[in-house]
């Protein structure tokens, strides 16, 4: 009898472990990776963060594979302006996006000549030192994937240091929201989305924007496959960015274990949002 019980112990352990992981990922934290530069300068390609599931309440998108086990939203709360939030991107609600919460229900949002306006008032925008981003392997890979020649947003942003290492130099600013929350944004050049119509955020929705203002498919664009996200329903929220758990420059090789460590950006790990 004891032998049979011992033989059953490992399968039982696996089931228990699966249940614990399911609960943890559904109701505590869930990991997300950053595949694009839409949230520069705060988030880099190759960052891996944990999103807190309890921050905005729970719904079907809190569960792995979006299992329809939770009706509506329970323990729901409204994000604060300035939060970095993970959500299921409209219109399909299949892909995870991460953007900054800019507009709450009832707000009027507009961009005028690169300046953000909330309810008719300009959000202060102050120029600071340029953001210098050393080019890494995952940036080179992203450029190839996107069909770009330069790993930077354009060849005009490329520069080399004294050791001939390539980097991207971008104009950087600090915005300060009405509540006092400050964060850094990039504004690279003049683009059509620098000036928009006035958007009124519907009840139960959010206006989301990327910090890399000239390279972000966000609420300034209609929700369509391969395009923007429009107004994001709060029921699409997955979690709030909480802590950086890992970051890699993309140079690691699976068959060369020591490169897992040399590729790590150790100075980014453990940072909070």
Distances (CA, A) of 17 to 28, 61, 62, 139, 157: 15, 21, 19, 36, 48
Backbone angles phi, psi at 197, to 5 degrees: -75, 175
Strand partners, 112: 115
Does the annotation count 145 as an active-site position? no
- Check 30, 38, 55, 252 and give the catalytic one: 38
In terms of DSSP bridges, do strands 29-33 and 47-52 run parallel, antiparallel, or are they unpaired? Answer: antiparallel
Helical (H) or strand (E) element with 272: none
Eight-state DSSP code of residue 151:
S
Does the annotation count 38 as an active-site position? yes
Distance CA 80, CA 82 (A): 6
Tally of CB atoms within 10 A around 133: 20
- Check 99, 216, 240, 252 and give the catalytic one: 99
Distance CA 109, CA 107 (A): 6
Residues acting as catalytic residues: 38, 99
């Amino acid at each position: 009898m004891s032998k049979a019980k011992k033989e059953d112990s490992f399968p039982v352990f696996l089931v228990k472990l699966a249940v614990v992981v399911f609960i943890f990922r559904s109701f505590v934290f869930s990991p997300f990776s950053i595949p694009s530069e839409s949230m520069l300068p705060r988030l880099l390609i190759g960052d891996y963060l944990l999103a807190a599931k309890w921050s905005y309440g729970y719904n079907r998108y809190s569960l792995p594979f979006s299992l329809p086990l939770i009706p509506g939203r329970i323990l729901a709360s409204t994000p604060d302006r300035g939060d970095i939030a993970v959500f299921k991107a409209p219109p399909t609600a299949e892909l995870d996006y991460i953007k900054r919460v800019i507009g709450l229900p009832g707000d009027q949002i507009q961009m005028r000549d690169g300046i953000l306006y909330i309810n008719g008032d300009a959000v202060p925008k102050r120029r600071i030192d340029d953001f210098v981003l050393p080019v890494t392997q995952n940036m080179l890979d992203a450029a190839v994937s996107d069909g770009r020649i330069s790993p930077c947003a354009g060849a005009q942003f490329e520069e080399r240091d004294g050791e001939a290492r390539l980097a991207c130099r971008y104009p950087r600013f600090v915005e300060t929201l009405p509540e006092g929350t400050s964060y850094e944004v990039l504004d690279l050049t003049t683009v059509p989305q620098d000036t928009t119509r006035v958007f009124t955020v519907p009840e139960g929705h959010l206006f989301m924007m990327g910090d890399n203002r000239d390279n972000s498919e966000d609420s300034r664009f209609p929700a369509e496959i391969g395009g923007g996200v429009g107004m994001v329903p709060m029921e699409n929220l997955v979690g709030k960015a909480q802590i950086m758990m890992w970051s890699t420059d993309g140079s690691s090789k699976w068959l060369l274990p020591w490169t897992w460590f040399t590729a790590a950006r150790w100075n980014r790990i453990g940072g909070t949002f």
